[in-house]
Amino acid sequence: MSDIPDLESRTVPEDHHDLRLWLRMLTCCNLIESDIRTRLRTEYQTTLPRFDLMAQLLRVPGGMKMSELSQHMMVTNGNITGITDQLEREGLVERVKVATDRRSSLIRLTSKGKRTFKKMAQSHEQWVQSMFSGVSEKSRAALFEALGELKLVTQARMARRDTRA
User: What pLDDT, in 10s, does the model give residues 59-118?
Assistant: 998 999 988 999 999 888 889 999 999 999 999 999 998 888 778 889 999 999 999 999
pLDDT level of residue 5 (50, 70, 90 thresholds): low
Q: Is residue 149 part of a domain?
A: yes
Q: Are residues 106 and 83 in the same domain?
A: yes
116 neighbors 92 (Cβ within 8 angstroms): yes
Q: Is residue 3 part of a domain?
A: no
Q: What percent of the chain clears pLDDT 90, i.e. is strictly above it? A: 69
- E strands along the chain, which residues? 64-65, 93-98, 101-109
User: Please, which residues have CB within 8 angstroms of residue 97's CB and are 6 or more apart in sequence?
Assistant: 104, 105
Q: Are residues 90 and 128 in the same domain?
A: yes
Instruction: Encode pLDDT of 14-47 as tens digits.
Output: 778 888 888 889 999 999 999 999 999 999 999 9
CATH of the domain at 57: 1.10.10.10
* Per-residue model confidence (pLDDT) at position 3: 56
Q: Check pLDDT > 70 for residue 150.
A: yes
Backbone angles phi, psi at 109, to 5 degrees: -70, 140
CA dihedral 71, 74, 77, 78 (to 10 degrees): -170
Q: Check pLDDT > 80 for residue 126.
A: yes
Closest CA to 52 of 20, 83, 18: 83
Q: Is residue 121 part of a domain?
A: yes
Which structural domain range is residue 145 located in? 135-165
The total of structural domains in the chain comes to: 2
Q: Are residues 42 and 117 in the same domain?
A: yes
Q: Are residues 143 and 73 in the same domain?
A: no
Q: What is the mean pLDDT of residues 142-163?
A: 93
Question: What is the C-alpha separation between 52 and 61, in angstroms, rounded?
Answer: 15
Helices and strands in the chain, H and E counts? 6, 3
Q: Are residues 148 and 92 in the same domain?
A: no
Q: Are residues 81 and 149 in the same domain?
A: no
